[in-house]
Structure 1
């Protein structure tokens, strides 16, 4: 029971993290670009591929920004970096309303968004959670990360509604205001790391709660340089590139993909929106299982299921039930990605340089997730079908899931013992 009492002490950081991640850089640009793609392509004469290439620019910028911001978070503290980034991310998202038909401006805004919003990535919030939670770390991470699923579903519908009522410029402003009006006030009140002086009383209660040597406020674990010399780091880097491509490629293209299979726009938008609810379920299920089973095994099972989704979506005549199943399985995998990465970093590398290590691995993750939508889009433009990209993704899910089993036993207890 003491494990669940961690939530009595650490719930403020979980709540603040959930909201901060929900309206941060991970979900908002990724889930809404599919809704904005049509209006932008129609008004400026851009193809879907050009619109989706914005995510590739975003990815390159994020690959540069995330390791830098991660290292900065380890040095300055995650609270300062995260809260500043929320404010800047909000402004940079609203700046998309200034688009004037210049593709250069459009891509520049994507790069700006990545640098301003990198501090809202899960690496800052999950670092704090990894300090506050030990026995129920997986569940705490899962709860914090369900925000991406909820916001993914709701902001997609919200953006579509604003576009229909007031146009795409107003929609960019409306969606961009969400972090500033919701995440920032809650973060100011509740988001603090375990070594924050203003949270010292709650941190001391956590140590007394366990009283078994498994909880420490000392920063244990590998340095960033040590992690980069570890083969496990490079195994994760190699796995997450194709895996994130397989997850991230189809999601922003989902409306177009389903439309190409003969579904109406309203049907496609509705089915695509169910991804968010599946992500919600994947976060909680994955987080719960991570606390009770070996994480690589959990990941292997849950991340292999979407291979079936990719196979089913290559069919020429998609049924409603088949499509819904495919979308839900893909959503479960998308719900597993960030909490899996956060959990594996904390268990295999510790929390001394957690944000920096997470940021480096996120750069590899972003490589696949960022270029995936553009490659999917260009594949469709070239062939009139997404089947080639879907087939590649099917095999990526299978082989990458199996590769995670090579990680071996956790090392966090050994790393913690080194500083005690």
Structure 2
């Protein structure tokens, strides 16, 4: 088969990146603190009351992630992503209409959590795993880096729009953007498999077919969840989710109370973190194709630990910015790891469902994180002790990553992959 100068799989990566950039994860992680802060100011809500909405959203999105696997396998990435984007826009529009009662606030975030799981990487990981094998880590990293783009844009735009037009019209604008921009681009660019265009993964030639075909060990979901590797990874991702989301929704509280910063300063720091996520996505994706993935995970955990310790021990603005940068780099590694490890240890046949369960674990921890952090901060009178506890907690997933061993790749597959790599470098 003749090799084309441009591989259409990169269109899939671009379309996935657009969908991920303005999916529910960056909307929540980068926009929740500002939007909820403005709503709390208008309606007189307390910080623990606002944090409960975060936990409700995260808990319900956690439950939704494993449920994404079956429709993804049945309908494919493109169709499921389009349906999810439309429902997410409708839920955001509903949030803009609340009248100040807490139950409406909680109900709106519950709905967002239920319907928006498919606006994130889980919808696109299956398509990317089928389009790429040798460059899978880089492709996943570039697509997931769309979250960094959203994390950079959303806090800046949201802050300015809230100041100019209020939080309600800001949410209306966000919903319109989903329908007018994101939906058409995903529909145009995302294709479910290279076989639809008569192509092979990575744009490989026929001679490279064995090496570039997706690795599939034929394991069922039931077989996978009975392995020790699955549970070690699930526990690790749960702790990662708890750690990141303990900080993200409470960042306004941390920086205004401890460092004396205003909302504009917090928005700027969030934007810096968003840029760091971009470099983390691409950088960790690049590393995943070259370094054993569990070791890449340990690097991400170390960055999280240093970030938490820095927030706990200093109020110096420069060091706060450094800590935010490290946190952004770390979350870049966390999200790249889940689909990559799912495909490398368990194959592509069940990658959507296994990735869904890893996301379930990640967001189960994330649902606990915000309210636990808020309650501990209230108990100790500051965020210092909870932050130090988060720093020490990273030891547990680091030890689990060390213990999971090599990828489940047969000797024949490993030899084929080495042969393909040698051929591409010659």
TM superposition score normalised by structure 2? 0.91
Q: Note the C-alpha offset of 1:280.
A: 0.7
CA distance in 2, matches of 1:92, 1:318: 37
CA contact (8 A) 2:62 2:363 kept: yes
Q: Note the C-alpha offset of 1:81.
A: 0.9
CA deviation string 1:208-246 (max 9, x = no partner):
366241233796542211111111111111111122111
The 3 A distance-change label for structure 1 pair 210 and 289 is: farther
1:278 is matched with which residue?
276
Q: Is 1:309 matched with 2:307? A: yes
2:298 is matched with which residue?
300
Aligned-partner SS, 2:134: coil
The 3 A distance-change label for structure 1 pair 22 and 194 is: same
Q: Is 1:372 matched with 2:369? A: yes
2:285 is matched with which residue?
287
CA contact (8 A) 2:201 2:212 kept: no
1:32 is matched with which residue?
31
Q: Note the C-alpha offset of 1:387.
A: 1.5
Aligned-partner SS, 2:116: helix
CA distance in 1, matches of 2:88, 2:40: 24
Q: Is 1:253 matched with 2:247? A: no
1:187 is matched with which residue?
186
The 3 A distance-change label for structure 1 pair 128 and 363 is: same
2:157 is matched with which residue?
158
CA deviation string 1:61-98 (max 9, x = no partner):
11221111122211222221111111111111121111
CA distance in 2, matches of 1:414, 1:163: 57
The 3 A distance-change label for structure 1 pair 169 and 348 is: same
CA contact (8 A) 1:18 1:144 kept: yes
1:113 is matched with which residue?
112
The 3 A distance-change label for structure 1 pair 200 and 48 is: same
Q: Is 1:216 matched with 2:239? A: no
CA contact (8 A) 1:94 1:176 kept: yes
Q: Report 1:11-410 matches (<5 A).
A: 11-194=10-193, 199-203=196-200, 206-208=203-205, 211-216=208-213, 221-265=218-262, 266-315=264-313, 317-410=314-407
CA distance in 2, matches of 1:354, 1:326: 33
Residues matched between the structures, number? 412
CA distance in 2, matches of 1:362, 1:379: 25
Where do 5+ consecutive residues of structure 1 fail to align? none
CA contact (8 A) 2:133 2:201 kept: no
2:418 is matched with which residue?
none
CA deviation string 1:300-341 (max 9, x = no partner):
1232122122112112x5112211111111111011111111
The 3 A distance-change label for structure 1 pair 281 and 7 is: farther
Q: Is the deviation greater in 306-315 or in 324-333?
A: 306-315
CA contact (8 A) 1:16 1:191 kept: yes
2:422 is matched with which residue?
none
TM superposition score normalised by structure 1? 0.92
